[in-house]
């Protein structure tokens, strides 16, 4: 698997253009009304057309039912589905079979035992996104909270697993995160924002540059 850099939660043509020009490999569009990064189906469609052929397009869904999944796929035509809820491995496999597209499953990590489910999900999806478990507050989002988990928990993780590191990454710490965990891919959302849902062009560019340099240093 080649190294990948994903910018998630893009919601305007302008910031999407910055991410594409910076060389992001994946761009993510959030379909979750409680999120400040939520996009309508119409906006998601337009952003997807803008990114087509330049980066892999990812639509993020949280515990979608069959109809919600079908609507998102029809409107946005993503290259990959990101499931960021409490979907079981069986449900992940079912949804993957339904749309016949690659799937990325997000797993919340706070302690070592949270990684025990990794192998089961790896059989049902193409990518596993390791994110920090959300804070235990009523308004916490499934992801995009800007919280990191203890990266040392990933020491000894099977390098063959298709893991993408997420959670609390930003332009200042992504190089250190890559050095410590040696992932094949990284994902950022709130770490390149000036406020909730407000992507910062300079931070997007700095993140991609720092991640790319750190990945190159591994070889």
Q: How far is CA 174 from CA 177, 186, 188, 203, in A?
A: 5, 8, 9, 12
pLDDT digits (tens, 9 = 90+) for 183-218: 999 999 999 999 999 999 999 999 999 999 999 998
pLDDT digits (tens, 9 = 90+) for 150-166: 988 998 888 888 999 99
CATH class of 4-217: alpha beta
pLDDT at residue 137 tops 60: no
pLDDT at residue 138 tops 60: no
Catalytic hit among 8, 25, 65, 200: 8
In the chain, where the domains are located: 4-217
- 61 forms beta bridges with 31, 83
The pLDDT value recorded for residue 135 is 62
Report the percentage of the chain scoring pLDDT > 70: 94
3-state secondary structure the chain: CCCEEEECCCCCHHHHHHHHHHCCCEEEEEECCCCCCECCHHHHHHHHHHHCCCCEEEEEECCCCHHHHHHHHHHHCCCEEEECCCCCHHHHHHHHHHHCCCEEEEEEECCHHHHCCHHHHHHHCCEEEEEECCCCCCCCCCCCCCCCCCHHHHCCCCCCCCEEECCCCCCCCHHHHHHHHCCCEEEECHHHEEECCEECHHHHHHHHHHHHHHHHHCC
pLDDT at residue 42 tops 70: yes
The pLDDT value recorded for residue 185 is 96
Q: Based on the residue annotation, tell me whether 131 is a catalytic residue of this protein.
A: yes
Q: Based on the residue annotation, tell me whether 42 is a catalytic residue of this protein.
A: no
Calpha distance 166→142 (Å, rounded)? 12
Catalytic hit among 25, 42, 114, 131: 131
pLDDT digits (tens, 9 = 90+) for 119-130: 999 999 999 999
């Amino acid at each position: 698997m080649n190294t990948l850099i994903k910018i998630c939660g893009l919601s305007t043509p302008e910031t999407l253009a910055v991410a594409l020009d910076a060389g992001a490999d994946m761009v993510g569009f959030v379909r979750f009304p409680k999120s400040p990064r939520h996009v309508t189906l119409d906006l998601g469609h337009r952003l997807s057309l803008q990114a087509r052929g330049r980066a892999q397009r990812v639509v993020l869904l949280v515990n979608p039912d069959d109809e919600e999944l079908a609507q998102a796929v029809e409107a946005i035509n993503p290259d990959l589905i990101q499931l960021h809820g409490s979907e079981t491995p069986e449900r992940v496999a079912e949804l993957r079979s339904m749309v016949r597209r690659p799937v990325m499953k997000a797993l919340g990590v706070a302690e070592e035992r949270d990684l025990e489910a990794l192998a089961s999900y790896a059989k049902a999806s193409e990518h596993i996104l390791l994110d920090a478990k959300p804070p235990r507050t009523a308004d916490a989002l499934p992801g995009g909270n800007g919280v990191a988990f203890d990266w040392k928990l990933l020491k000894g993780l099977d390098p063959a697993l298709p893991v993408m590191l997420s959670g609390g990454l930003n332009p200042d710490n992504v190089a250190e995160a890559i050095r410590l965990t040696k992932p094949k891919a990284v994902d950022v959302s709130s770490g390149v924002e000036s406020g909730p849902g407000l992507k910062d062009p300079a931070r997007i560019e700095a993140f991609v540059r720092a991640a790319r340099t750190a990945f190159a240093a591994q070889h």
